[in-house]
Amino acid sequence: MAVVLAHWAEHLVQAVQIWYLGWPRPQARGVLGMPFPWLISSEWLHYGYALVMLAGLWLLRSGFQGSARRWWTAALAIQFWHHLEHLLLLVQAQTGHFIAGQPVPTSLLQLVAPRVELHVFYNTVVFLPMVVAVYRHLRPTETEASAMTCSCRPHKFGDRVALASGAGI
């Protein structure tokens, strides 16, 4: 989650640099991109992040039950597409052959939306179902709770339900 939030912070700073400060897009590099400009143009770094996100979503999926699992799976499916877009960018960067006659590596949806806006969109449509999934995971139905094996599993104490960690739901 820390990596996801740091990634969000980078994109939000980049958005502020472009739309609030009026910086040209090549100079709007976020926080880490300012001292390390190669980070912004590194397709390996972007693909690596997309792959780590995909792997994390896949590995954590088994911990979710019921509606939480459906939301988590939605995030996984969207991230799978996002990963394919980054794979396409990486292949173009490595080969020097760009799609649709573009002068730079270009993803499929980038043909209809600028890259910064597209990345904010992708991060949003992956992150929101993750948030809903975690929310639903922490507030399961009785059926979902009975199938849970993690320490988040609610336990009944009389009429009161509490999480195994001691926090109430």
Which one is predicted more confidently, 11 or 158?
11
Rounded-to-integer distance, Cα 152 and Cα 164, Å: 6
Q: Is the whole model's pTM more than 0.75, yes or no?
A: yes
What is the tens place of the pLDDT at every residue in 94-112?
999 999 999 999 999 999 9
Q: How far is residue 34's CA from residue 17's CA, in Å, rounded to a whole number?
A: 11
Averaged pLDDT score across all residues of the chain:
88
Amino acid letter for position 4: V
Q: Is the pLDDT of residue 6 over 90?
A: no
| Distance separating alpha carbons of residues 52 and 147, to the nearest angstrom | 27
- Predicted local distance difference test score (pLDDT) of residue 148: 87
Q: Would you say residue 162 has pLDDT above 70?
A: no
What pLDDT, in 10s, does the model give residues 19-29?
A: 999 999 989 99
pLDDT of 2 reads: 81
- Positive/negative CA dihedral, 124, 127, 128, 129: positive
